[in-house]
């Protein structure tokens, strides 16, 4: 499990445990926190760019497959740091694949991104929608998918599946919270805790309330489908090369803000700023294929998403 000390990865580790599956975590702690790794789970501190380190971990722990979540995931920052983004996400993925080849490990679940679609031509994105990434981050994730597909064609017995998703929110345990400085939920929560008013970037879009509509998926649901994908690969069940983990409907930024005010008890009226360049009005992914194959469901309401995120953040200590 690469990136298992991060927000998403640590939830996947717990989902594996719930299914009676063991895990070993490799993480360089550049953004993850070691305290997110559950007690009793083997932890290797190091970079996925170190192929021998990854290979040694796979050998020592007799791993059957890899869930590859590690990566540099900030689309906006990737524009300023393209070489770093490519090193972590493209060279890093190639390194993990090389380690798997060295050790005979032949199943990979890849944490991809809906950023591979860029600004889609349709409001509802399917797996067959054209890929036009608009940032080094989105490009690097698409290249990661290509690498996995190329290895699957060249190496007998190797199978991989890529999971594409937009905004991951909430917490399935108070032991793990979203500490990202770029994601909407922690941005709103940290603003409230520091006495600032949260901000909406643009309220004049052609949507029901004028704010952007996006997929917001709960990290607990996401983790379950990562595990379901791993189980399907190990069982030899047929899978698509890639799946969307999407809501099919989406939520607006205004709806999120209203839910935040209600769920945290902080009554606020968000500031309205200008649009951010390149933000489309509405992007929502169709998750029906993943629902059929990967136990994908939206099990949490928006209020439950907010409540779980708020509870985990409060449990982590003062702002």
Catalytic residue positions, numbered: 137
Q: What's the CA gap between 55 and 58, in Å, rounded? A: 5
Residue 39, both tokens: 């007690």
Q: 10 Å Cβ neighbour count for 135?
A: 20
Q: What's the CA gap between 206 and 292, in Å, rounded? A: 32
Q: For 253, which DSSP code?
A: H
Contacts of 23 (CB under 8 A, 6+ apart): 1, 4, 13, 16, 17, 41, 42
What is the residue whose two structure tokens read 């205004």? 254
Q: Is 97 helix (H, G, I), strand (E, B) or coil?
A: helix
H or E element at residue 11: helix 7-18
Q: Are 224 and 300 in contact (CB under 8 A)?
A: no
Q: How far apart are the first and last CA of the chain?
A: 30
Distance of CA 80 to the CA centre of its chain: 21
């Amino acid at each position: 499990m690469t990136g298992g000390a991060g927000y998403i990865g640590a939830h996947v580790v717990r989902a594996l445990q719930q299914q009676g599956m063991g895990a070993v975590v490799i993480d360089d702690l550049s953004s993850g926190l070691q305290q997110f790794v559950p007690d009793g789970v083997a932890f290797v501190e190091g970079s996925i760019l170190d192929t021998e380190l990854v290979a040694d971990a796979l050998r020592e722990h007799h791993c059957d497959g890899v869930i590859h979540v590690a990566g540099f995931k900030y689309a906006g920052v990737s524009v300023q740091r393209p070489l770093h983004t490519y090193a972590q996400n493209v060279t890093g993925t190639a390194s993990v694949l090389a380690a798997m080849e060295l050790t005979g490990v032949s199943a990979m679940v890849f944490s991809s991104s809906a950023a591979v679609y860029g600004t889609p031509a349709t409001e509802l994105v399917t797996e067959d929608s054209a890929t036009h990434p608009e940032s080094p981050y989105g490009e690097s994730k698409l290249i990661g998918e290509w690498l996995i597909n190329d290895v699957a064609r060249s190496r007998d017995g190797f199978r991989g599946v890529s999971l594409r998703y937009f905004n991951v929110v909430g917490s399935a345990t108070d032991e793990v919270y979203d500490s990202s400085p770029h994601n909407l939920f922690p941005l709103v929560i940290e603003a409230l805790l520091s006495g600032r008013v949260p901000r909406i970037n643009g309220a004049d879009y052609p949507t029901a309330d004028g704010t952007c509509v996006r997929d917001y998926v709960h990290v607990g649901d996401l983790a379950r489908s990562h595990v379901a994908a791993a189980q399907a690969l190990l069982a030899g069940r047929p899978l698509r090369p890639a799946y969307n983990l999407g809501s099919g409907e989406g939520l607006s930024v205004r709806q999120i803000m209203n839910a935040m005010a209600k769920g945290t008890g902080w009554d606020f009226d968000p500031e309205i700023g200008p649009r951010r360049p390149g933000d489309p009005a509405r992007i929502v992914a169709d998750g029906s294929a993943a629902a059929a194959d990967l136990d994908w469901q939206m099990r949490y309401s928006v209020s439950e998403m907010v409540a779980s995120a708020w509870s985990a953040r409060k449990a982590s200590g003062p702002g």
